[in-house]
């Protein structure tokens, strides 16, 4: 059995536990939460159907259960309410992250840790420092979800299938995110070229509208249902599968950078290779001058917020 521990059994943690257990028949998922009854209830609910699929199971536990983990996922923390930005959560969630890392550290075995809590870039850098983890071991889901949303939006605009589209959103997982339009390809062609050959409009106004749609999609869901959970759960499943050795993936996740694009002392999303050990490589893809300037602005903004806490 592969052991995955999830800290924070709220909407997001429980959805990740559900995704992980129904996706494979050899995973043991432990849910840890200050609300032990909630963690227990979620584990029971998930377990009751799993015998139809195989041997995976979920259980509630405590921090001592993390010592044999193959992967850890931290999603404890407040979620944003309608009208709030992710950065508005920083003061409250940093205290929660302090409590989680203090409890985790005595049992931490050096396995990869995925941070989901928001503001994601700041929580990732903070957790990495407090756990004293090696480079690449602690990373946040960052802009993998924004990139997924970008691909969905481009598919809707161009009519191509999501499997035919690639590209990246980088920078802050939040309002300071940067859509790297120069990286977006549709059916192996640059998106501008694809649109022009298909008779579709492609100009600054179209790009601005699509980028805004991607940036506000999370807030739009929160306005409608109060939470987001399934999108991030699916992205976390993809990241966890890579960590558990089911094949490396390349995705824009947030991790402490060390000189890429001249950036340091900050965690920010860049395309990374993720595999059994966590992040094995941060890729420096070509950026236009405007994209590079926007990335630097995004990183500076995060540094400024981290300094205040
Ligand atoms: P939630 O309120 O439903 O759940 C949070 C859980 O954390 C609660 O069960 C709470 O009891 C638990 N908790 C609080 N303090 C704790 C502690 N010290 N130790 C252990 N558990 C503790 O919230 P949610 O909707 O599940 O969201 C969780 C976090 O994930 C939020 O910060 C949210 O903003 C973030 N999130 C991130 C993404 C992303 O793309 N990275 C997407 C959605 C949500």
Tens digits of residue pLDDT in 124-145: 999 999 999 999 999 999 999 9
Q: Give the pair of three-digit tokens for residue 11.
A: 């909407």
What residues are paired with 186 via a beta bridge? Answer: 165, 189
pLDDT of residue 199: 98
Residues 6+ apart with CB under 8 A from 91: 309
pLDDT for 24: 94
Q: What is the pLDDT of residues 217-240, one digit of tens each?
A: 999 999 999 999 999 999 999 999
* 145 alpha carbon – ligand 1 mean position (Å): 16
Residue 267 backbone dihedrals phi, psi, to 5 degrees? -110, 130
- The phi, psi pair for 74, rounded to 5°, reads -110, 115
DSSP strand pairing (177-186 vs 278-282): unpaired
Q: Once rounded to an integer, what is the mean pLDDT over residues 299-309?
A: 95
| Angstrom distance (rounded) from CA 255 to CA 120 | 10
Q: Please write the tens of the pLDDT for every residue from 186-195.
A: 999 999 999 9
Residue nearest to ligand 1 atom 7, measured at CA: 76
Residue 269, strand partner residues: 171, 254
CB 33 near ligand 1, within 6 Å = yes
117: three-class secondary structure by DSSP: coil
pTM of the model: 0.98
Using pLDDT thresholds of 50, 70 and 90, give the confidence band for residue 34: very high
Instruction: Please report which confidence band the pLDDT of residue 14 belongs to, taking 50, 70 and 90 as the band edges.
Output: very high
Place of tokens 């432990």: 30
Ligand 1 centre from 12 Cα, in Å?
7
Closest by alpha carbon to 229, among 11, 4, 5, 9? 11
The answer to whether the CB of 29 is under 6 A from ligand 1 is: no
Average pLDDT over residues 87-115: 97
Domains for the chain: give ranges and CATH numbers: 2-140 (3.40.50.720), 144-308 (3.90.110.10)
Ligand 1 center to residue 14 CA distance, Å? 10
The DSSP-derived string for 1-68 is -EEEEEE--SHHHHHHHHHHHHT-SSEEEEEE-SSHHHHHHHHHHHHHHHTTT-S-EEEE--GGGGGG
Tens digit of pLDDT for each residue in 170-186? 999 999 999 999 999 99
Model pLDDT, residue 41: 98
Closest Cα to atom 9 of ligand 1: 10
CB 7 within 8 A of CB 104: yes
pLDDT number for residue 89: 93
């Amino acid at each position: 059995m592969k052991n995955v521990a999830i800290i924070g059994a709220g909407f997001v943690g429980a959805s990740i536990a559900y995704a992980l257990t129904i996706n494979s028949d050899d995973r043991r998922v432990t849910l840890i939460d200050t609300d032990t009854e909630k963690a227990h209830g979620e584990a029971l609910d998930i377990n009751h159907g799993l015998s139809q699929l195989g041997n995976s199971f979920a259980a509630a536990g405590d921090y001592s259960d993390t010592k044999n983990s193959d992967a850890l996922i931290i999603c404890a923390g407040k979620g944003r309410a309608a009208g709030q930005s992710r950065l508005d959560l920083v003061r409250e969630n940093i205290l929660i992250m302090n409590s989680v890392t203090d409890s985790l550290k005595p049992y931490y075995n050096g396995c990869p840790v995925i941070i989901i809590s928001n503001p994601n870039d700041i929580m990732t850098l903070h957790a990495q420092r407090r756990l004293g983890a090696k480079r690449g071991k602690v990373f946040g889901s960052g802009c993998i979800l924004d990139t997924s949303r970008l691909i969905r939006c481009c598919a809707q605009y161009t009519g191509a299938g999501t499997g035919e589209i690639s590209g990246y959103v980088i920078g802050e997982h939040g309002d300071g995110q940067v859509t790297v339009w120069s990286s977006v390809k549709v059916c192996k062609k640059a998106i501008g070229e694809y649109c022009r050959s298909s008779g579709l409009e492609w100009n600054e106004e179209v790009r601005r509208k699509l980028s805004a749609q991607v940036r506000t999609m999370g807030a739009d869901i929160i306005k409608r249902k109060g939470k987001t959970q399934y999108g991030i759960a699916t992205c976390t499943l993809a990241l966890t599968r890579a960590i558990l050795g089911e094949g490396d993936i390349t995705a824009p996740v947030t991790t402490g950078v060390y000189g890429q694009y001249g950036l340091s002392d900050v965690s920010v999303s860049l395309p990374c290779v993720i595999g059994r050990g966590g992040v094995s490589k941060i890729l420096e893809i070509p950026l236009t001058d405007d994209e590079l300037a926007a990335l630097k602005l995004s990183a500076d903004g995060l540094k400024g917020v981290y300094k205040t806490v």
